[in-house]
Amino acid sequence: MLEKIDLSKTIDEAVYKKRITDLRARLYLLQRQCWDAGVPSILVFEGWGASGRGAMVNFLTQNLEPRVFRLHMILAPRSSEECMPWLWRFWIKIPNRGEMAIFDQSWYRRVLIERVEKRVGKIVWKQAFEDINDFERALADDGYLIHKIFLHIGKDEQKRRLKALAKDPISKKMRDPEDRLQQKRYKHYLEAVEEMLMRTETEWAPWNIVEANDARFARVKVFETAIQRLESALALRKGGK
């Protein structure tokens, strides 16, 4: 599936500057409209290591109203969290009505990192697909918008970026060690990603695969797809009243 995606897509810099300015203003306006209408939204960012996930989240949130969104960076569960049902730590981060929650990685760690690195058994991660679909369906049925984004880059591009990050003294210290594991076990991660996309693609929480070799193109697509989903959610809310 992913190997058939065209990663050569780019956008002219002049066109990008004009479009991204308009898109940022539109997203801010929609965020305020969702607040007024009481529409809660959840933006999930997943992607390959070095795909620019953190930078994308940072860019997306720069022009948002900070009082109306919460950013959650998800790492491995703490020992106290491991004593609870595995989705508990995500349930407690669900936003209130009208608010937005943005997840830099999410519950999908279980079927990606925890699966490939064998931090959980096969029975556990296989059951997680059903748990995730039920979790997202419950939220959607309660009026939540779920927008899932996967930033996709090729294996060679990932290798190039990791090498570049290793040469920068600041980036080297901040680099996630899990990113290097992906390069070593790329084939296994590719299999896990494709199964994740296939088994958790639903009507109520579809995936948006974003070609991220070109950062400008990726930003525009992320904004456009988020805006489209928020507009649909608002229209549905108005139509139901």
> DSSP letter at 150?
E
Residue 114, domain member (yes or no): yes
CATH of the domain at 39: 3.40.50.300
Stated pTM of the model:
0.94
Tens-digit pLDDT profile for residues 71-93:
999 999 999 999 999 999 999 99
Q: How many whole angstroms separate alpha carbon 153 and alpha carbon 9?
A: 11
Q: Is the pLDDT at 130 greater than 80, yes or no?
A: yes
Residue 240, domain member (yes or no): no
Q: C-alpha angle with apex 4: 53 to 208, nearest 5 degrees?
A: 40
Confidence band, pLDDT 50/70/90 cuts, at residue 120: very high
Tens-digit pLDDT profile for residues 162-221:
888 888 766 655 566 777 788 889 999 999 999 999 999 999 999 999 999 999 999 999
Measured CA to CA in angstroms, residue 181 lies from 50, 88, 137, 139, 189 at distances of: 12, 27, 32, 32, 9
pLDDT at 65: 96
Residue 142, domain member (yes or no): yes
pLDDT at 138: 98
Over residues 62-74, the mean pLDDT reads 96
Instruction: Identify whether the C-beta of residue 194 lies closer than 8 Å to the C-beta of residue 2.
Output: yes
Residue 165, domain member (yes or no): yes
Residue 55, domain member (yes or no): yes
Domain count, the chain: 1
Tell me the residue length of the chain. 241
Residue range of the domain that includes 158: 2-234
Residue 241, domain member (yes or no): no
Over residues 43-67, the mean pLDDT reads 96
Residue 239, domain member (yes or no): no
